């Protein structure tokens, strides 16, 4: 069970890497997806240092965070109304998600990936602001 959870987490966290739409040349051939993303990441590390992505990759990943937040809002709303039939369930789901994101961005990612605090704050805000806006506009 734990391995399945880790694999699912790894699948979602690497989704932007696999879907990277920009082509670049690697070993004499033009590639997209994960190989292109890894090349862009290596260039960013060489340019800005470990843990910093530069504005292009940060914006690209930020867009994925934002889309993920919107999808989460939609799914949480659907789940809370379909299975629980309650507004309270929606708030519980959102609070649980924010707690999980806080753990991920400020403990797990710095420890596992060496993520800098500024990136964690930016990622956290990209996820949480749409949720808060949604809650205040209900």
**Percent of the residues in the chain that have a pLDDT greater than 90, as a whole number:** 42
Q: How far apart (Å, rounded) are the C-alpha atoms in residues 69 and 104? A: 15
CA angle centred on 82, ends 93 and 63, rounded to 5°: 50
What does the mean pLDDT of the chain come to? 89
Structure tokens at 33: 């997806």
> 33: which DSSP letter?
T
Cα(first)–Cα(last) distance of the chain, in Å? 36
Identify the H or E element spanning 134. helix 117-136
Residue 102 has pLDDT above 70, yes or no: yes
Question: What are the residue boundaries of the structural domains of the chain, listed by start?
Answer: 1-49, 57-138
pTM of the model: 0.81
Tokens of 3: 């391995």
Q: 56-67 pLDDT, tens per residue?
A: 888 998 999 999
């Amino acid at each position: 069970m734990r391995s399945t959870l880790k694999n699912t987490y790894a699948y979602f966290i690497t989704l932007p890497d696999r879907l990277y739409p920009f082509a670049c040349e690697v070993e004499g051939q033009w590639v997209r997806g994960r190989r292109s993303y890894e090349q862009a990441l290596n260039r960013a590390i060489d340019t800005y240092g470990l843990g910093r992505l530069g504005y292009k990759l940060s914006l690209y990943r930020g867009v994925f965070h934002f889309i993920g937040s919107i999808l989460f809002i939609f799914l949480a709303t659907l789940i809370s109304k379909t299975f629980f039939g309650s507004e309270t369930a929606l708030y519980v789901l959102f609070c649980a998600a924010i707690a999980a994101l806080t753990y991920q961005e400020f403990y797990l990612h710095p420890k596992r990936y060496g993520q800098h605090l500024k990136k964690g704050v930016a990622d956290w805000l990209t996820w949480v602001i749409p949720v808060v806006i949604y809650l205040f506009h209900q």
